[in-house]
Amino acid sequence: KQEVTQIPAALSVPEGENLVLNCSFTDSAIYNLQWFRQDPGKGLTSLLLIQSSQREQTSGRLNASLDKSSGRSTLYIAASQPGDSATYLCAVKPGTYKYIFGTGTRLKVLA
């Protein structure tokens, strides 16, 4: 059974720091992995999608990597800002219809 774990559960950093969020999954048979951002009381906003054949994706200050063989993905945020404060979720797609989510990392960037 596929399980997705995100560590740490919460993280607090000063503004300007580069940081890494971790996502691990137990079964490497996935179609893709997607990172989302969720603000309090809001829906999920897609940040980056990595297909199973890809190693990384970049968008602005965000970079996500995928290592299927070790069951790991990282989301790198460069030069963090207070506006980056949110919960970050990763999800894997083990089949054509289903996503399995981690419980998220709650990030707080201090001004």
Partner 1 sequence: DGGITQSPKYLFRKEGQNVTLSCEQNLNHDAMYWYRQDPGQGLRLIYYSQIVNDFQKGDIAEGYSVSREKKESFPLTVTSAQKNPTAFYLCASSKDIAEAFFGQGTRLTVV
Residues that bind partner 1 (CB under 8 A): 4, 31-32, 34, 36, 41-46, 49, 51, 89, 91, 93, 96-104
Q: Which is nearer to partner 1, 85 or 94 (CB)?
A: 94
Alpha-carbon torsion, ordered 38, 39, 43, 45, to 10 deg = -50
Q: Which is nearer to partner 1, 71 or 104 (CB)?
A: 104
Strands (E), 1-111: 4-7, 10-14, 19-25, 32-38, 44-51, 56-59, 62-67, 72-77, 86-93, 100-101, 105-110
Q: Which is nearer to partner 1, 1 or 14 (CB)?
A: 1
Q: Which is nearer to partner 1, 12 or 46 (CB)?
A: 46
Residue 14 C-beta: closest distance to partner 1, Å? 26
The dihedrals phi and psi of 84, each to the nearest 5 degrees, come to -80, -10
Residue 104 C-beta: closest distance to partner 1, Å? 7
Residue 16 C-beta: closest distance to partner 1, Å? 30
Q: First vs last Cα of the chain: how many Å apart?
A: 41
Residue 44 C-beta: closest distance to partner 1, Å? 4
